[in-house]
Amino acid sequence: MTFYAVRPRRPDFDADVDDEEVVLTPHCDGWTHLDQAIAFWRLVDPERAEVIEQLRVDADLRDPDGHLRFTTHEVALLADRLEGIETALLAAGILNSDWQVAPERVEELGQAVPGQDLRPNRPMSEKVYAFVETLGNVWGLRTFLRSAAEQGCEVVHS
């Protein structure tokens, strides 16, 4: 599912989400990447993961039209909460200075963080980078959210 950065709704706005002004290039798979961000944070800071999850739950509860919407304030909070994940993963020893995970942790971390390319025929010399490849999705999401926050946008999931 895609995330769209849109101008905040006017109180009298009753048109469909498809009629809103999209401000930034949409972020494809935003929902999946948010799930991945939560999973990464659960490894090193479960409280931060819960804050991100609660922001998602709150937005979902306000979802009257089938299009989850993060307010401008929530967009800024999400962008802030995604900052520092790489530093935390390095400090916890999950990633080493070469941005690899230990081969003996590949499967465990593959179960903890969804979406990693751990195909059976992929060599271990590549699998040790699958974790950071997936982390790239979170970096992209963080950049999108930061840009949306800087432009005063809401983010809609559609």
Per-block mean pLDDT, blocks of 10 residues, the chain (158 long): 80 54 80 95 98 91 76 95 96 96 97 95 97 96 95 88
pLDDT value for 81: 96
pLDDT value for 22: 73
Give the Cα separation of 81 and 128 in Å (integer).
26
Beta strands per DSSP E along 3-153: 3-6, 69-70
pLDDT value for 111: 96
Give the Cα separation of 30 and 36 in Å (integer).
10
Place of tokens 């080493």: 96
Give the residue extent of every domain in the chain: 3-8+20-157
pLDDT value for 3: 87
pLDDT value for 87: 96
pLDDT value for 100: 97
Give the Cα separation of 45 and 89 in Å (integer).
10
C-alpha 41 chain-centroid distance: 11
